[in-house]
Amino acid sequence: MSNCAIVGINWGDEGKGRMVDLLTEHYDVVVRYQGGGNAGHTVINEHGTFALHLLPSGIFRNGVVNILGNGVALDPENLWTEIQSVMDQGVSITPENLKISDRASLLLPWHRDLDELEENRLRNKKFGSTKQGIAPFYSDKYQKKTILAGELFYPDEFKKHLLDLMEWKNLTLTNVYHAPAYTMNMLDQWIIEFCDKIKPFICDTGAFLKDAQREGKNILFEAQLGSLRDLDYGIFPYTTSSNTIAAYAPIGSGLPSANISDVVGVVKAYSTCVGEGPFVCELFGDEAEALRKAGFEYGAKTGRPRRVGPIDLVATRYGVEVQAATEIALTKLDVLSYMERIPVCTQYLLGGEPTDRFPFPAALDHAKPIIEYMPGWNCDISSIRNWNDLPTEAKDYVTFIEKAIDCPISYVSVGPERDSIIIRK
Ligand code: GDP
């Protein structure tokens, strides 16, 4: 049996979905352990192109059981819409290959409203939320003001619980934000349209995972976003509201006894960042536009142009540490093929001194990138499948990163398709 977590090392959008889609070949179970529908994993395979938000990326493999663990923000409306859209593209989704933890908390309709109302209140001080209700959801979860998915099996208690929460939340909606109140009629509609639809998928996934562990099955833990967005270890307050790091996988998946032997950290060959917050190595102007276009860096959920920059070795080294990554998948190397010379952020300048250490979040605004340049390879590498066939400059770029972050790069991805990969082990 082997357990593996696939996690983002940087700000998210590193290409985790494409790595999970590739590696599920070796796994029996894929579990999402945190986050909600606020980001997207793009997967391209024989079924087509998919932007997954909540569904685990193992959903395309026959025989793989996909689980949404207790740590996710379970939005019945988003999930049901996503299930239907993926099924419309010919993928079978049944209670056999998708199981939802009965201990996952439900993201309630007002969470999305509150996200939007608060971002509007903040105006130009906003955080760049995707307005999917994630922050209000997690704060309510920790206040014990959400409902567990399994409560749907106890309809009378469920309704009463929901009514209590609605009365409580209406106080904030109407008195603080002067927004309309919810009524039970509105919530009845939400139950019928979405909750009842996902109910057949809800079960005791903790028991399922424990059995799978006992039977020696291989389990893959799939993260959303990256180290720098982790609530405790990221660039707070520009983080997400959950723990994105691999150490949280046993808790958020429903298998607290999981021993994760392999942590595959996904690193993009350059940097991107969505939303607000410090981004030390950010490029601007034509240089940024060229990289954004080459990498098609527009958000999978929002379509927003992503902020771009050279690979940031200071942030990446920190990301590798907090993820306790055992190996690295370096993605999108092909995107850099157009560059004559490739910028690399090797250190930060902070208080006039160069530093290798990722600073405390509030100090990031004062950090400046120290940039070195490496020679480009200036040819198309997207059809290369063997390490030795890569141009020397490309190999040098990869090994330079590997040395700087002190973690073996086992996979080099040269295209979005499942087989556009160079395996180095
Ligand atoms: P995730 O959230 O970490 O799964 O990342 P996203 O799906 O948001 O972003 C990764 C994007 O890059 C997707 O559009 C992928 O199809 C694409 N992608 C992944 N790996 C590669 C690669 O090696 N080369 C290229 N050109 N695109 C890639």
Architecture field, domain 267-423: Alpha-Beta Complex (3.90)
Q: Residue 100 has which token pair?
A: 């939802």
| Ligand 1 mutation pick, 332, 336, 409, max ligand atoms within 8 A of CB | 332
Among 42, 220, 267, 411, which residue has the most ligand 1 atoms within 8 Å of its CB, making it the best to mutate?
Answer: 42
Q: Among 395, 270, 302, which residue's Cα sits nearest to residue 9?
A: 270
Q: At the topology level of CATH, where does 3-104+201-264 sit? A: Adenylosuccinate Synthetase; Chain A, domain 1 (3.40.440)
* Spacing, Cα 42 to ligand 1 middle (Å): 6
How many residues are given for the chain? 425
Cα distance between residue 350 and residue 169, in whole Å: 44
Check residue 301 and give its pLDDT: 63
CA–CA distance, 78 with 76 (Å, rounded to integer): 6
d(CA 280, CA 284): 12
pLDDT above 70 covers a percentage of the chain that reads 98
Q: Which residues of the chain have pLDDT under 70?
A: 1, 126-129, 300-302
| Number of alpha carbons in the 13 Å side-chain half-sphere of residue 317 | 19
3-state secondary structure of 110: helix
Q: Token pair 């527009």 is at which residue? A: 298
> Is 78 in contact with 249 (CB distance < 8 Å)?
no
Domain ranges of the chain: 3-104+201-264, 105-199, 267-423
Nearest atom of ligand 1 to the alpha carbon of 269: 23
b vs e for 277-300, b when ≥16 Cβ sit within 10 Å of the residue's Cβ?
bbbbbbbeeeebeebbebbebebb
Q: Please answer whether residues 209 and 255 qualify as being in contact, where contact means their C-beta atoms are separated by less than 8 angstroms.
A: yes
Tokens of 237: 């307050």
How many angstroms does the Cα of residue 40 sit away from the middle of ligand 1?
Answer: 10
Interatomic CA distance for residues 98 and 83, integer angstroms: 10
CA of 385 to the centre of ligand 1 (A): 17
pLDDT for res 332: 98
Residues 6+ apart with CB under 8 A from 394: 333, 377, 381
What pLDDT was estimated at residue 300? Answer: 63
Residue identifier of the C-alpha nearest atom 26 of ligand 1? 415
In contact, 35 and 46? CB cutoff 8 Å: no
What residue type is 155 in one-letter code?
P
Tokens encoding 202: 């809800």
CATH match of 105-199 with 1.20.1250.20:
no
Distances (CA, A) of 103 to 73, 196, 253, 316: 11, 16, 10, 34
CA angle 101, 302, 254 (to 5 degrees): 15
The whole-number pLDDT of residue 132 equals: 87
d(CA 59, CA 52): 10
C-alpha distance from residue 1 to each of 63, 370, 410 (Å): 17, 44, 20
Residue 360's pLDDT is what? Answer: 97
Q: Give distance in angstroms: CA of 16 to centre of ligand 1.
A: 7
Q: Which residues line ligand 1 (CB under 6 A)?
A: 8, 12-18, 39-42, 44, 300, 331-332, 334-335, 413-416, 420
Give the pair of three-digit tokens for residue 419: 């087989």
- Name 72's bridge partners: 35
